[in-house]
Amino acid sequence: MSVGRLLIAATPLGQPSDASARLVRALRSADVIAAEDTRRIRTLAAALEVKPVGKVISLYDQNEATRVPRLVDDIRGGATVLTVSDAGMPLISDPGYRLVTACIDAGLPISCLPGPSAVTTALAVSGLPADKFCFEGFAPRKQSARRAWLTTLAAEQRTCVFFESPRRLAATLTDAVDVLGAQRRAAVCRELTKTHEEVVRGSLAELADRAADGVLGEITVVLAGAVPRADLETLVAEVHKMVDDGVRVKDACAQVIAAHPGAPSRRELYDAVLRSRA
């Protein structure tokens, strides 16, 4: 008997037409479709004019552990199992991790049908650097845990993407202002690819003010990375070099600060230069 395989497939964030041709074929032919919400995958299939021939079962956080052994047995017995979440890529803050690791442990074939992801979509439209980024999942619900988490991002130089509930967005952005500073840049992406898609870019203070009256929909936040804070000793040495070349101390401090985003204040640098010359 031939061994089956697990297919991990991304589903559209909102527009059914974003579905890949491979997803359409898999929905049509898979022996089992393990969906986070069976109603939503049936609705998507109908929109794509696909009638699944396989069994459609639920696979979500609360039942994944108990469903996985049977699904692994199905694959071992020759079945093609397609796993999908409500929107975007399974496992990315969605169910599927236990099933994937169980298949790996069992030596079973796994393939991924790539497609929509709120993480990369938000990153692309945010206007923030995308050469290096990190994904943090959902922001913590409780304020104490959330502020502690934000503290870990204070020195993170990569652009950060995370999900947030519309009910907690205002509180999270307010905490971010307190912990990360009012001027840190960010983008709040709402209802990506859907009819009411909205991307708001600005400082954390501006975004917190805008969210204060409440928002609706699926929210993805993109946060700018921290600007490296220049080493004070290095800046003092740069000022000394400029002074040796004939530049006044105050002017040298101003030029050095301007050349180093994230540097200390001009007064702090000036005082450090005076102390070094004492």
Q: What is the pLDDT of residue 1?
A: 61
Provide the terminal-to-terminal Cα distance of the chain, rounded to the nearest Å: 85
User: Strands 198-203, 219-223: parallel, antiparallel or unpaired by DSSP?
Assistant: unpaired
User: Is 37 a residue whose pLDDT tops 80?
Assistant: yes
pTM of the model: 0.82
Return the ∠ at Cα 68 (arms to 66 and 71), rounded to 5°: 125
Q: Which two tokens stand for residue 164?
A: 């947030």
DSSP secondary structure letter of residue 226 = P
Q: Label residue 11 by pLDDT band (50, 70, 90).
A: very high
User: Is 32 a residue whose pLDDT tops 70?
Assistant: yes
The H-or-E segment that residue 2 falls in is: none
- CB of 60 closer than 8 Å to CB of 91: no
Residue 42 CB coordination number (10 Å): 17
Q: What is the pLDDT of residue 261?
A: 67
DSSP string, 124-149: HHH-S--SSEEEEEEPPSSHHHHHHH
Question: How is the beta sheet containing 198-203 ordered, strand by strand?
Answer: 133-138, 159-164, 219-223, 185-190, 198-203
Q: Label residue 228 by pLDDT band (50, 70, 90).
A: confident
Distance from the Cα of residue 202 to its chain's centroid: 18
Q: Which two tokens stand for residue 88?
A: 């975007």
Distance from the Cα of residue 177 to its chain's centroid: 19
User: Is 262 a residue whose pLDDT tops 80?
Assistant: no
Q: What is the pLDDT of residue 123?
A: 98
CA atoms of 217 and 14, how far apart (whole Å)? 11
Q: What is the pLDDT of residue 26?
A: 98
User: Is 119 a residue whose pLDDT tops 80?
Assistant: yes
Q: What is the pLDDT of residue 3?
A: 87
Q: How far is CA 116 from CA 23, 98, 111, 223, in A?
A: 11, 21, 16, 20
The H-or-E segment that residue 248 falls in is: none
Q: Indicate the range of 2-11, 65-74, 225-234, 248-257 predicted with least confidence.
A: 225-234
Place of tokens 């991990």: 8
In percent, how much of the chain has pLDDT > 90?
Answer: 89
Name which residue leads in pLDDT, 221 or 259.
Answer: 221
**How much is the mean pLDDT over the chain?**
95
CA atoms of 228 and 206, how far apart (whole Å)? 23
pLDDT in tens, 51-101: 999 999 999 999 999 999 999 999 999 999 999 999 999 999 999 999 999
CA atoms of 272 and 231, how far apart (whole Å)? 12
Place of tokens 């967005």: 169
Average pLDDT over residues 166-177: 98
SS3 274: helix
User: Is 185 a residue whose pLDDT tops 90?
Assistant: yes
User: Is 10 a residue whose pLDDT tops 80?
Assistant: yes
Average pLDDT over residues 135-161: 96
